[in-house]
């Protein structure tokens, strides 16, 4: 039998969950209505994930973060321009910058992920400098120097991935690339650079408002650059990269 205090706590939790669902539904309805009034023609799906703010699927569906319900008309007009297939590239790029400058997570906060601060070992400083230098070189060779500089981290915890890209929770921009310490110690530098390039394709996706995944856009870019779409292979317990990896 539950105590009165436990019963009251459960009632409060139920009311809170109900209020959250009501707020979510109201935000979705408001966002769809505003976009329709501003001239969007494609179907709209509202989400709250941390990978992409706005994207257009191959099927012609606009996926947009719920936080844009609180954006100005100017920002939503940029969303409409970004989503139109007929928008010219320079206009689309300016619209993209307008879209990503809006801080959606100030209105729909994300739960914080557990911190993952790696302990540095002797020699890590040199390795990190080499990783940054490789990123800079590969950026120039394969992306025309258009990708942003990014922080690197060496992970002791990664057992089933070679690397992964992390996005900042508040700004939704690329935050860091983590590389497995086991990968660095067991594999050739050429294989490590292949992993860096793999993660840079994810960075390219994120910085262009695309889904950060291993879908068709990733596979096409990987083929263009000569990168395996999935870095799957047997090296100890390391099997390869997965989502954002």
pLDDT digits (tens, 9 = 90+) for 217-240: 888 999 999 887 654 333 322 222
Return the pLDDT at 52: 67
* pLDDT at residue 87 is higher than 50: yes
Which CATH number belongs to the domain containing residue 173 in this structure?
Answer: 3.30.2010.10
Q: Which of 106, 139, 172 is the last residue of a domain?
A: 106
pLDDT mean across residues, the chain: 82
Asked whether residue 141 is domain-assigned, the answer is yes
* Pair (71, 151) in one structural domain: no
Query: Counting Cβ atoms within 10 Å, is residue 70 exposed (0-12), middle (13-18) or buried (19+)?
Result: middle
* Pair (154, 217) in one structural domain: yes
Asked whether residue 85 is domain-assigned, the answer is yes
Q: Which of 54, 79, 106 is the last residue of a domain?
A: 106
CA 181 to chain centre: 23
- CA pair distance 54, 123, nearest whole angstrom: 40
- What range does the domain containing 86 cover? 4-106
Asked whether residue 240 is domain-assigned, the answer is no
């Amino acid at each position: 039998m539950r105590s009165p205090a436990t019963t009251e706590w459960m009632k409060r939790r139920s009311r809170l969950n109900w209020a959250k669902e009501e707020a979510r539904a109201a935000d979705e309805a408001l966002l769809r209505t505003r976009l329709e009034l501003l001239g969007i023609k494609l179907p709209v799906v509202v989400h709250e994930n941390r990978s992409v703010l706005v994207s257009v699927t191959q099927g012609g569906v606009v996926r947009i973060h719920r936080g844009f319900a609180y954006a100005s008309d100017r920002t939503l007009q940029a969303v409409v321009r970004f989503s139109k297939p007929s928008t010219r590239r320079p206009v689309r790029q300016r619209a993209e910058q307008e879209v990503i400058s809006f801080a959606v997570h100030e209105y729909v906060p994300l739960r914080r992920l557990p911190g993952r601060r790696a302990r540095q070992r002797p020699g890590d400083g040199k390795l990190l400098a080499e990783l940054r230098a490789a990123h800079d070189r590969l950026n120039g060779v394969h992306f025309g120097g258009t990708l942003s500089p990014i922080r690197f981290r060496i992970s002791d915890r990664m057992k089933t991935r070679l690397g992964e890209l992390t996005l900042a929770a508040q700004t939704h921009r690329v935050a860091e690339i983590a590389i497995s310490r086991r990968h660095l110690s067991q594999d050739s530098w050429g294989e490590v650079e292949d992993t860096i390039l793999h993660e840079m394709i994810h960075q390219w996706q994120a910085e262009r408002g695309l889904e950060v995944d291993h879908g068709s856009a990733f596979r096409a870019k990987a083929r263009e650059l000569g990168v395996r779409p999935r870095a799957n292979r047997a090296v100890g317990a390391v099997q390869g990269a997965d989502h954002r990896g």
